[in-house]
Chain A
């Protein structure tokens, strides 16, 4: 996207880094604030109230600044180097997904041919970050949390990928832009263009559940089950490194929601309205807003579920993945492929 400005490589790189650095607070802080406020009202509380004057809007900011003041503790028994790297690995994996998220017709880091494959592959790297965080902390709770995370994330990566395969078969491409274009031109029985959430609804549900598990959000937060494992793999982390984990988690929520919005809900394309009829600039302004709107719906759904459902048991978690989501995902692929050939 940025190449458009006709500036040199290094200046362009600096600009890209600047934009990425700006995206972190722009994306993570509102989600954190929404989480605080929505959870509070769902529990009949007010939630943040004083920070920033009105509605406590500065609460996530204040929390972030507080983390900067805290001491960066490294336990004696920890594997120092690995322990220090782990949070950045998680954050880097979450941020790398932004490369292929299309915010507008021209606002995309790089429209890779393997777009969705890249996104899912690179987001799996955060599993390694979580596992080494649990292992290197030198704490039994961290280790149990890390192992639980590994078991859970590996189990749920399969349904995550299987759900995407259905969309890929239907769109005949893995490029994110290609999938959005396919949804614009997709017509069922030649009637009207509909996003894939209708024909691929099963895939969407599977992906949503698996994404919740990938992000270790409640119903699936066994890795950091605070009532059993203190904070799981986060137990020993404090200060800035904890904040990095925290931000990585919320960036992950955004990227997963953005992937869902792109694959199933038409991405930056406002439904029932042709973006191509507008000028280039207008399309690239409206596109991100539409995407953020769709992401907001999905994020709300995730927060809503988090504060409604209790945690699964470890065996129920594995049951759901292996006995339900994966078989249904495979059937979804088969059915999609048959319809693709027949219709």
Chain B
């Protein structure tokens, strides 16, 4: 025990705890006050039904196979009289099972028609695992929470 090295060490330790004592505590009391996540946080995936063409790319690329898509084709009247009737793909079912989802964001990346978006909302925990399956309507509701895209760089 060399006294020469002990005293400065003790003083240094005391100084650190004293400094910490007067620092602002970064704790957020979560249920009372809500932390605002960063805009690009991967909270939940929102769906724009109008933009979806039922191409199934997201469901196929999903590593967890947590996206379930069903659709059918509807006959549209020809745009000109005497023309060929058009078909249009309509979405019947679009479910994301958040119990399986690993928030990789590949579906959002891969969507060719910008129908999927990240939203920073995170408060959708449930009591049952089956309730983690969000259907088309629920996913559309999340669309309102999607932040505006960042401005383009000039």
Contact = CB atoms under 8 A, between A and B. Distances in A.
A and B found bound together? yes
Interface of A: 38, 41-46, 49, 304-305, 307-309, 316, 319
Interface in B9-51: 10, 13-14, 16-18, 20-23, 25-27, 29
B2 to A, nearest CB: 12
Contacts, number: 33
B20 A41 contact: yes
B144 interface: no
B25 A44 contact: yes
Nearest to A306: B17
A319 B21 CA distance: 32
B1 A44 contact: no
A308 B14 contact: yes
Contacts of B21: 38, 41-42
A309 B10 contact: yes
A46 B1 contact: no
Given A46-B25, A316-B1, A305 B14 contact: yes
B23 A44 contact: yes
A41 to B, nearest CB: 5
Nearest to A37: B21
7 contacts: A42-B17, A43-B20, A44-B25, A46-B25, A305-B14, A308-B17, A319-B1
B27 A304 contact: no
Interface in B58-94: none
Contact of A304 (B18, B22, B23, B25): B18
Contacts of A316: 1
Given A42-B21, A44-B20, A316-B1, A308 B13 contact: yes
A309 B20 contact: no
Contacts of B1: 316, 319
A42 B25 CA distance: 10
Nearest to A310: B13
Nearest to A43: B20
Contacts of B29: 46, 49
A41 B21 CA distance: 5
Contacts of A49: 29
Top-5 shortest CB links A-B: A308-B17, A42-B17, A308-B13, A46-B27, A41-B21
Given A316-B1, A319-B1, A45 B14 contact: no
A290 B23 CA distance: 29
Which of A38, A41, A45, A304 counts the most B-chain CB atoms under 10 A from its CB?
A41
